[in-house]
Amino acid sequence: MSGGLLVAGTTSDAGKSVLTAGICRWLHRRGVKVAPFKAQNMSNNSAVVLGPDGRGGEIGRAQAMQAAACGLAPDLRFNPVLLKPGSDLASQVVLLGEAVDTITAATFRTLRPRLAETAYAALAELRSEYDVVICEGAGSPAEINLRDGDYVNMGLARHARLPTLVVGDIDRGGVFAAMFGTLALLDPADQSLVAGFVVNKFRGDRGLLAPGLEMLRQLTGRPTYGVLPWALDLWLDAEDSLAYGRVLGRPAAPRGTEWLDVAVLRLPRISNATDVEALATEPGVRVRLTVEPAELAAADLVVLPGSKSTVADLAWLRETGLADAVTAHVAANRPLLGICGGYQMLARAIHDPVESRQGTVPGLGLLPIEITFDHRKTVRPAVGSAAGDLPVHGYEIHHGHVSTADPRLVPLLRYTGGADEGAMHGVVHGTHWHGAFESDEFRRWFLTRAARLAGRTGFRVAPDTSFAAARERSLDLLGDLVEEHLDTDALWRLVEDGPPTDLPFVPPGAPQR
- Tens of pLDDT, residue by residue over 203-222, are 988 888 999 999 999 999 99
- What's the pLDDT score for residue 244? 53
pLDDT in tens, 168-202: 999 888 999 999 999 999 999 999 999 999 999 99
Question: Cis omega before residue 508 (within 30°)?
Answer: yes
pLDDT at 4 exceeding the cut of 70: yes
**Mean pLDDT confidence for 17-46:** 94
pLDDT at 499 exceeding the cut of 70: yes
The secondary structure of residue 503, as a DSSP letter, is P
- For residue 275, what are the CA distances in angstroms to 99, 236, 339? 22, 10, 8
Distance of CA 329 to the CA centre of its chain: 29
pLDDT at 232 exceeding the cut of 90: no
- For residue 375, what are the CA distances in angstroms to 93, 100, 372, 399? 14, 11, 10, 7
Q: What does the alpha-carbon distance between residue 298 and residue 300 come to, in Å, rounded to a whole number?
A: 7
pTM, entire model: 0.91
Q: Identify which of 235, 245, 240 has the alpha carbon closest to the alpha carbon of residue 269.
A: 240
- What's the pLDDT score for residue 472? 93
**Mean pLDDT confidence for 83-91:** 81
Residue 66: band (very low, low, confident or very high) from pLDDT cuts 50, 70, 90: very high
Q: Name the strand (E) or helix (H) holding 393.
A: strand 390-405
Known catalytic residue at 351: no
From 329, 425, 432, 434, active-site residue: 434
- For CA atoms 393, 398, 401, 406, give the dihedral sign: negative
pLDDT in tens, 439-493: 999 999 999 999 999 999 999 999 999 999 999 999 999 999 999 999 999 999 9
Residue 55: band (very low, low, confident or very high) from pLDDT cuts 50, 70, 90: confident
- For residue 481, what are the CA distances in angstroms to 22, 243, 249, 477, 495? 7, 19, 18, 6, 19
Helix/strand/coil (H/E/C) assignment for every residue in 148-187: CCCCCCHHHHHHHCCCEEEEEEHHHCCHHHHHHHHHHCCC
Residues of the chain with pLDDT > 90: what percent? 76
Helix, strand, or coil here: 329?
helix
From 24, 340, 429, 432, active-site residue: 340
Known catalytic residue at 434: yes
Q: What does the alpha-carbon distance between residue 285 and residue 259 come to, in Å, rounded to a whole number?
A: 6
pLDDT at 411 exceeding the cut of 90: yes
- What's the pLDDT score for residue 2? 65
pLDDT at 403 exceeding the cut of 70: yes
Q: Identify which of 28, 2, 7 has the alpha carbon closest to the alpha carbon of residue 17.
A: 7
pLDDT at 63 exceeding the cut of 60: yes
- Strand order of the β-sheet with 224-229 is 34-37, 132-136, 3-9, 164-169, 194-202, 224-229
- What's the pLDDT score for residue 255? 92
Q: What does the alpha-carbon distance between residue 353 and residue 333 come to, in Å, rounded to a whole number?
A: 34
Residues 6 or more apart in contact with residue 437 via CB below 8 angstroms: 275, 276, 278, 279, 443, 446, 467
